[in-house]
Each structure stands twice: as C-alpha cells, then as structure tokens.
Structure 1
C-alpha cells in the first residue's frame, strides 16, 4: 500500500467534477479529502477554479495510478489534447507518491507543491509533517516559505459519500 496525494482542479461544472473525483478515487483506494478552495485561474482569463487535494491509500504502482487518473479525466470530459492554461472539467495530478522520486512522467514530487498556494494549503491540512522526498522539508516548511498572496477562498463543500463503491 502506498500513500499518495492527488491534486484536483476544476473550473467547469466544478461541484459535479470535484464530486466525481471523490467517487472515482474511492474505486482506487481509501480516500481522505482536504477542504475545497476557490481560486482564480493562473496564466489565463476564465472562470474560477475549485482546487483541493485527496490523500489516497492505494495498491497501484505510480505508473498505473497515472494511467487511471488520465482515464478518469477523459471519462469526465477533459479533452485528450488539453493544454496547460485552459479550462478544465477535471484535472488530477499526482503530487506525492510515498517516498518515490521520479524525474520522468509522472514527475514526483510535483513542482506545484513549491509554487502554488492552491496545492500547498490543502496538503498542509492533510499532512503538515510529511517530509518531501528529495527536498527534505516538511509540507509545513514549504507552506511557510511560500509568499501568501491571499488568493484562496474556502468553499463550503460536502461530499456525497453514497454510491462510491
């Protein structure tokens, strides 16, 4: 079993797609959710995103988990040729995968941890003392090193826990 952290983002039918991510990840393993945050898009003008992180305990390998996440994204309407700075129905990124360090796709630890509040803040909720492989700092230390821009708004969101098996 591996403890993984999955970053989730959506700015199209946000509630529907965040809930879908929860339901789909329950099929892969045991899930625990951070709070959901609203944040303006970075790098392009569009609708605000909902962002969060799921803690996932899974038996899948890193490569198999990546494959399954891509399948989920496509099933929920993400374009196969989606670019970095555009609208998303569902974006699922492996942020951390146990103590794995990978410099090829999927890259873990994912650099977004050190860059974006919408990634670091939910991780801080779930695993503040987690030591990031190859970095040596805890999530709390990374959060403290980020220059807070106050771009996150907490969203009142309750997951429907029925029908996830």
Structure 2
C-alpha cells in the first residue's frame, strides 16, 4: 500500500469543482486526509484567484493508474486537455508524492513544484510537516519555514467541505 499526496487547484467555479474533485477522489481512493484550503493569486498569467489544497490517501494502484485516475476526474469536471500551461482551470489534480519514489516517468516524483510554489508547499507542509522530501532531505515544515513568502500571495480560507467526506 502506497501513501500518495495530491495537489488540487481550481479557479473556475472553484468551490463547486474543489468539492466535486474531493468526492471523486474519495470514491476512487477511500479515506482522504486534507489540508486547509488556501486562496492564492494566479501564477504565470493574469486570472482570478485559485483555491488550492493537498490531500493524501493510501492506494494499491500503480503510479500510472493513479495519474490516469486523476486525468479522468479532471475531465469529468470540465478540464480541457491541450490548454496552455498557465491558464484558468476547472480542476487541476497532480500527484506530488508516491511514498518516497524518485522517478521521471510517467510523471516527475517528487513533483518539482513542491519546492517553488507556495500553493503546493504550504498545504503539504501542513498535512505532512515531518515528512522528508526525498531529494533535499528536509522536512516539508522546514522547507515551508525557509520559503521566501514574498514570492507568492497565499492565505488560508474558510471552506465548507462536503459532509460526505467525513
């Protein structure tokens, strides 16, 4: 059984898509552990603010099957493939960690943006503060404490999670 950490982000009907994405993840992976929800300004383009969070789950699926499941959930929630890298998203689900695997294919693990995007690092540090990044050998909590917080604007928000998650 592998422990996976999952990044979720949305800025198109964000509350609706975040809730739907979480329910879909729960349907496929069972019990989820959740960070708080954070709002952040869009990165790389001018757009409405994003809602972001990190979830974790246990799975027996392979990395490829996990990624395929995420793509299916994104598509079910209106995600259009072939969009520009920096553009609005109905739902963006990324695999951040699969146990302590270090790989380049079928996805980069650990996901590179953990180290440079506050909207990934802060919720990950909140959910797994003592877990150690397998490449830099520092805890996510210490990485967040050392992060230059002037780079990106991000703040926690109140969010009503679907009751079905609990």
TM-score (norm 2): 0.93
Residue 5 (structure 1) aligns with? 5
Structure 1 distance, partners of 2:147, 2:106, is 25
Q: Distance in 1 between matches of 2:58 and 2:20?
A: 18
Task: Please give the alpha-carbon distance, in whole angstroms, between the structure 2 residues aligned to 1:24 and 1:36.
Answer: 17
**Residues 61-107 of structure 1: per-residue CA shift (max 9 Å, x gap):** 11100000001101110101122100000000011110111112311
Aligned to 2:80: 79
Contact 1:8/1:18 (<8 A) preserved: yes
CA RMSD of aligned residues (A): 1.5
Q: Name the residue aligned to 1:96.
A: 97
Give the number of aligned pairs: 164
Q: 1:135 Cα deviation (Å)? A: 2.4
Q: Deviation string for 1:108-137 (max 9, x for gaps)?
A: 100111001111110111100101123211
Displaced runs of 4 or more, over 6 A: none
Q: Contact 2:39–2:157 at 8 Å: present in 1 too?
A: yes
C-alpha distance in 1, partners of 2:25/2:59? 9
- Structure 1 length as normaliser, TM-score? 0.94
Q: How does 1:131-146 map to 2 (within 5 A)?
A: 131-146=132-147
Aligned residue for 2:15? 15
Unaligned runs of 5+ in 1: none
Q: List gaps (5 residues or longer) in structure 2.
A: none
Q: Which residue in 2 is equivalent to 1:157?
A: 159
The 8 Å contact of residues 28 and 58 in structure 1, kept in 2 or not, is answered as no
